[in-house]
Amino acid sequence: MKPEEQPSPDPIRRRPGVLARMRANFLTGIVVIAPIGLTIWLILTVISWVDGFVLPLIPGGYHPDILLQQYLGIQDAKVNIRGVGVVVFLVFTVLTGWMAKGFIGRSFLRWAEGLVDRMPVVRSIYNGVKQIAETVFAQSEASFDKACMIEYPRRGIWAIAFVSTAAKGEVAARLDEETLGVFVPTTPNPTSGFLLFFPKSEVIILDMTIEDAAKLIISAGLVYPNPKDPTLPPVTAPAEPPRPKAETLAASSPDRDPETTGG
């Protein structure tokens, strides 16, 4: 008999070197710091841009350094308080919206828009910006209904989309069947896309939320919502229901002949 072969010992795992550990720690730090740093930088950039646009419009006697000199007696104070322009802009915008809702404000707004309509180039710019602003801000209460799947751009190719609303008006009147308005976003920027009208029977409604569908689109299919992750194992099948008592007794006594057990 051949002696049993001894299993080879497990190879010794080499610990990563100092440079490898430093590289891993550096990458981990980048993942933690980058989102925080970019967010702070973006906020400060927007605040500085608003301050640089609004502060020159404020009279010089109301600047922070002048007010400090007058009320605190600080001479030659050069104070750069970030956010003052943002506060002034917010207050001015709220007051403008409040005035525009009144009778005088509406009348003045109609007069100003009528004046702008007489200017060929200014009219086009104003109407375009106004339409964008009304779509983005005034209709903030409206939102997509559900996430769905449609065959686009051809049969056999599926795309994630959002159901906006059922077709209405002339669009619905000229179609023979019930149709849904569907917005097909692009990757990785879901704010742009295509508005399509699909028959309701060809639209597959998904269980995932609008936020989960947006994550799936922005990540180009790399981030799936966890409850619907296709890589997870299937749900365990429910337990088999208990069989009737007579069937259980027959199954437990296979040697018994049913013909010999009669009365």
In whole angstroms, give the CA distance from residue 139 to residue 203. 25
- Specify the pLDDT at position 180: 92
Q: In what order do the strands lie in the sheet with 146-151?
A: 193-199, 179-185, 158-166, 146-151, 204-205
Separation between Cα atoms, residue 29 and residue 47, nearest integer Å: 27
Strand partners, 72: none
The pLDDT, as a whole number, for residue 158 is 94
Where are the domains positioned within the chain?
A: 146-225
Token digits of residue 73: 């007696």
What does pTM read for this prediction? Answer: 0.46
Cα–Cα distance, 249 to 256 (Å, whole number): 10
Q: What are phi and psi of 180, to 5 degrees?
A: -115, 140
pLDDT given for residue 107 in this prediction: 87
pLDDT score, position 168: 86
The reported pLDDT for the residue numbered 78 is 63
Q: What pLDDT was estimated at residue 3?
A: 53
Q: What was the pLDDT predicted at 206?
A: 92
Q: Using alpha carbons only, what angle is made at residue 237 by residues 233 and 241, rounded to the nearest 5 degrees? A: 165
* pLDDT tens for the chain, residues 1 to 263: 455 555 555 556 677 778 888 888 888 888 889 889 889 999 988 888 888 888 778 777 777 777 777 776 666 656 666 777 788 888 888 888 888 888 888 888 888 888 888 888 888 888 888 877 776 665 545 568 799 999 999 999 999 999 988 888 888 888 888 999 999 998 888 888 999 999 999 999 998 888 888 888 988 888 777 654 555 544 444 455 555 554 444 444 444 444 444 44
What pLDDT score was predicted for residue 161? Answer: 93
